[in-house]
Amino acid sequence: MPDQTGSLVHDGSSGPGMGMPASSYKKSGFKIVGPVGSLRAGALAPGTVSRPGMLTSPKVGSVDIPWLHFHPVRRLLFYDYPCSKPYFLETVAPKLKESLSLTLRHYLLVAGDLIFHLNSEKMPEIRYVAGDSAVSLTIAESASGFDDIIGNHARDADQFYEFVAPIDPVTDESGYQKVPVMALKVTLFPGRVLDRSVIKDPLRINTIFLKVIRDVPLKSTSFPVPTNRVRATYILRQTDIQKLKDLVLERKPGLVQVSSFVVTAAYVWTCFVKSGEQVDDDELEFFSFAADIRARIDPPVPANYFGNCLGYGLAIMEHIQLVGEEGFVMAAEAIADQIKNRVNNKDEVLKGAENWVSDMRAMNAIRAFWVSGSPKFDLSNADFGWGTARKLEILTIDEEKYSMSLCKSRDSDGGLEIGLSLPKARMEAFATIFDEGLRF
């Protein structure tokens, strides 16, 4: 039962990075292998306490024998330790190696091999040979997301084995087999670096986007005042959200993706459309929302990617459908369908991406409603030393025709906070429809 222990060190940066190219290590003879780069690998021998060749071979005790064919003990320890990678390699790693070597002087057998005799009555033994036996020590770096890995949420179990110390396989000798008792590995999670190559673009969509925008000059920004609007905040408590979910599932029992976002977006969208001017029944209404597609594209982009990696969903309904009695349920179904069949579908999420820029421009001329912000970005908890923010206002929605802001509620656990910027008369109509719609 060998021991494969890994120690994982985060350098304390605000986010983990993508690692460095293999050429960065060429001078020192380092190499990158797979998701985890092996910076150094070698043998860690106990500090000199005995003459070379001295043999220590205690027999395995009776209480040890039942465990010989048990799987290796594999443990990972995670630490925050602010330091640069050069400092880690030039100072931390050598000191760690020296410290471990001195420690092994007191535990020589840990550096030995388990000997399992074949076709013999000999008891298994742990053999340590001074000057020959050593513990394998690997110094590595990882591109994985440190904060994600150490979280308490459900994480892919496979990824943790990247950090396990590799141990030599069982080898067959004359009359016996042997396997090392222990192996060690230390993995550094370096700070964030920028690597745009992680997003694959075989269709060269970037050149298509550039052609669309390059003839449009940049403009200096200015405040959109006077806005001729008022701002208001609406709260959907957890109980409200659950009521809306129950209503949708009662009408559409087979519907999936009925999330808090889906019912909130659908409810606000229908209230917004009902509060507006009269239009033809067959007039199309559009609801657009952005989605983080880092994990949804193929190949997926690491969670620590720093930059925009967004796709979008677009629900389309006729005006008469939204303002009808079943408008909310139909809107929830349309949004949930976009999440299931477009946003969460690797074959669909980037389909038509070459038209995204032109499509977004076209939406400015149609009856579109957007979402700005996300409950995933809990900005109200940003710590500047003054406690939790009293209020979050997203001013961007003043410049869009029209959109809602969305964030976690400060005052309702599990609730959501919706911000709107509308002409005063429409806001009054919206408020009435919003409040009355929750009375069921």
How much is the average pLDDT of 246-263?
95
What span, in angstroms and rounded, lies between the C-alpha atoms of 11 and 92? 12
**pLDDT, position 344:** 92
pLDDT reading at 274 higher than 60: yes
Task: Give the helix/strand (H/E) hosting 102.
Answer: helix 93-104
With a cut of 90, say whether residue 197 has pLDDT above it. Answer: no
Whole-model pTM over 0.85? no
pLDDT tier, 422 (very low <50, low <70, confident <90, very high otherwise): very high
The pLDDT of residue 229:
95
Rounded mean pLDDT, 33-37: 35
d(CA 368, CA 204): 29
pLDDT of the residue at 388: 80
Question: Is the confidence at residue 15, as pLDDT, over 50?
Answer: no
The pLDDT of residue 326: 96
Residue 149: CB atoms within 10 A of its CB come to: 21
CB of 111 closer than 8 Å to CB of 135: yes
Mean pLDDT in the chain? 81
When pLDDT is cut at 50, 70 and 90, the band that residue 11 belongs to is very low
Rounded CA-CA distance 231/228 in Å is 10
Backbone angles phi, psi at 321, to 5 degrees: -70, -45
Q: Which runs of E-coded beta strand occur in 230-281?
A: 230-236
Looking at residue 42, its pLDDT comes to: 53
Beta bridge partners of 231: 421
Q: What is the pLDDT of residues 120-160, one digit of tens each?
A: 888 888 888 887 788 888 888 888 888 778 888 888 888 88
Q: What does the pLDDT average to over 201-224? A: 78
Residue 276 pLDDT more than 80?
yes
Range of lowest pLDDT (39-43, 316-320, 436-440)? 39-43
Residues of the chain with pLDDT > 90, as a percent, come to: 31
Per residue in 46-101, pLDDT tens?
665 555 555 667 777 777 777 777 777 888 988 888 788 888 889 988 888 888 88
Please say if the pLDDT value at position 17 is more than 70: no
pLDDT reading at 371 higher than 60: yes
pLDDT above 60 (res 12): no
Cβ-Cβ contacts under 8 Å for 370 (sequence gap 6 or more) = 287, 288, 289, 400, 402, 403, 404
pLDDT(428) > 90:
yes
Element housing 99 (H / E) = helix 93-104
Set out the domains of the chain in order of their start, with CATH numbers: 3-189 (3.30.559.10), 197-437 (3.30.559.10)
- What's the CA gap between 96 and 111, in Å, rounded? 16
Statement: residue 20 has pLDDT above 50: no
- pLDDT value at residue 14: 31
- H/E stretch holding 329 reads helix 327-338
59: number of Cβ within 10 Å: 12
Q: What is the pLDDT of residue 56?
A: 66
Average pLDDT over residues 271-285: 95
**How high is the pLDDT of residue 37?**
44
Q: Which residue has the higher pLDDT, 374 or 366?
A: 374
Phi and psi for 355 in degrees, rounded to 5? -105, 5
Q: Can you tell me the mean pLDDT for 5-27? A: 34
DSSP line for 18-78: ----GGGGGGGT---BTTEEEEEEEEEPPPS-S-TT-EE-PBPPTTTGGGTTSPPEEEEEE
Counting Cβ atoms within 10 Å, is residue 154 exposed (0-12), middle (13-18) or buried (19+)?
Answer: exposed
* pLDDT attached to residue 4: 55
Of 370, 427, 366, 361, nearest in space to 396 by CA:
370
The residues, any chain, with a CB within 8 Å of residue 301's CB and separated by 6 or more, are: 198, 199, 293, 294, 295, 309
Q: Assess whether pLDDT exceeds 90 at residue 336.
A: yes
Average pLDDT over residues 298-320: 86
Per-residue model confidence (pLDDT) at position 242: 97
What's the pLDDT at 238? 96
pLDDT of 354 over the 50 cut: yes
**Dihedrals φ, ψ of 136, to 5°?**
-70, 130
Q: What is the rounded distance in angstroms from the CA atom of residue 335 to the CA atom of residue 329?
A: 10
Q: Name the range with the highest mean pLDDT among 35-39, 124-128, 199-203, 338-342.
A: 338-342
In angstroms, how far is the first alpha carbon of the chain from the final one?
62
pLDDT grade, residue 192 (50/70/90)? low
* For range 338-365, the mean pLDDT: 85
Other residues' Cβ atoms within 10 Å of the Cβ of residue 425: 10
Residue length, the chain? 440
Q: Report pLDDT for 107.
A: 83
